[in-house]
Amino acid sequence: MGAAENVRVAVCGAAGMMGKEVIRAISEADGVELVAAIDLAAEGIDSGSAAGIGSNGIVITSDLKQALLDTQAEVVVDFTLPASLMSNLRIALSCGVSPVVGTTGLSTSDLAELEELASKASRAVFIAPNFAIGAVLMMEFAERAAAYLPDVEIIELHHDRKIDSPSGTALLTAQRIGKSRVSAGISPKPVPANLIEKSPGARGARDANTGDVPIHSIRLQGFVAHQEVIFGGAGQTLTIRHDSLDRRSFMPGVVHAARTVGTLSGVVVGLEKIL
């Protein structure tokens, strides 16, 4: 594919752990071209040097809007923080740029606002709680299993710098399990009302937004992104587990989304929608 056909990509959060991986992946992949790197904490640093691939001449800037306009970016990949995410997405859409979002923490009202903004801009917003293909399969298998084994809990384990809890992957898995149980007309056995997830300071969830599936969250050094979905039945258990041992596991999905988002419309959630 010639350079003229490449999708022009900006990376927001370029100096973060995921941002550096995205810089490397975009630089190595066909069909996409890195044109801008944005990060509030690393202004003036060469993005290639920061990512460990050598100088690429694309200097990190803190001004997202100006970077998108100056480079005529078509897509912005965002791996930043929940607190800054909506502001970044508003700017991107106002500039006619399609966001690919790996940052989690968007609320229902945020998604509704993005639908409206995307429609006005005639652009799509692609959001994936998890860009690893193995994680997508894990959710697919869990959804299928829930129709036969309705009693289930989720344990998700992430690095100690992940702010949101439960993870977006765990929430989406739980929601898909809940829908599967409803479609199958089955219900889990009642669980105790005083679950630890309801205790002050506990990291977990159990409410309507999770399909009423208990989720247990762990944040420790040494982990990247991991999830177990444990089903229980009479005399048996079934465990479906996915492990991302390296952030490179997310990159094929990120690159594919960057190539694909221009063909979409509205707000699209989940990597499985574009596979």
What pLDDT is stored for residue 1 in this prediction?
39
Higher-pLDDT residue of 77, 165: 77
Please give the C-alpha separations between residue 161 and each of 49, 169, 185, 222, 239, in angstroms, as whole numbers: 23, 16, 39, 11, 26
48, 25 Cβ separation under 8 angstroms:
no
Side-chain-facing half-sphere of 4: CA atoms under 13 Å? 0
Is the pLDDT at 2 greater than 60, yes or no? no
Choose among 204, 135, 217: nearest CA to 176: 135
What pLDDT is stored for residue 82 in this prediction?
87
What pLDDT is stored for residue 5 in this prediction?
83
Per the prediction, the chain carries an average pLDDT of: 91
What pLDDT is stored for residue 198 in this prediction?
62
Q: Is the peptide bond before 190 cis (omega within 30 degrees of 0)?
A: no
Domain ranges across the chain: 3-127+248-273, 133-244
Side-chain-facing half-sphere of 89: CA atoms under 13 Å? 31
What pLDDT is stored for residue 241 in this prediction?
98
What pLDDT is stored for residue 192 in this prediction?
65
The β-bridge partners of 17 are none
Most confident among 36-45, 100-109, 156-165 (mean pLDDT): 36-45
Least confident of 27-31, 34-38, 156-160, 165-169: 165-169
Which residues are annotated as catalytic?
Answer: 158, 162
Predicted confidence (pLDDT) per residue in 52-90, tens digit? 999 999 999 999 999 999 999 999 999 998 889 999 999
What string of DSSP letters covers 111-141?
HHHHHHHHHHHT-EEEE-S---HHHHHHHHH
Task: Give the CATH H-level superfamily of domain 133-244.
Answer: Dihydrodipicolinate Reductase; domain 2 (3.30.360.10)
Which residue carries 């959060």 as its tokens?
Answer: 13
Predicted confidence (pLDDT) per residue in 218-273, tens digit? 999 999 999 999 999 999 999 999 999 999 999 999 999 999 999 999 999 999 99
Predicted confidence (pLDDT) per residue in 101-125, tens digit? 998 888 889 999 999 999 999 999 9
CATH number (1.10.510.10, 3.40.50.720, 3.50.50.60, 3.10.20.310) of 3-127+248-273 reads 3.40.50.720
What φ, ψ does residue 270 adopt, rounded to 5°? 110, 125
Look up the pTM and report it. Answer: 0.82
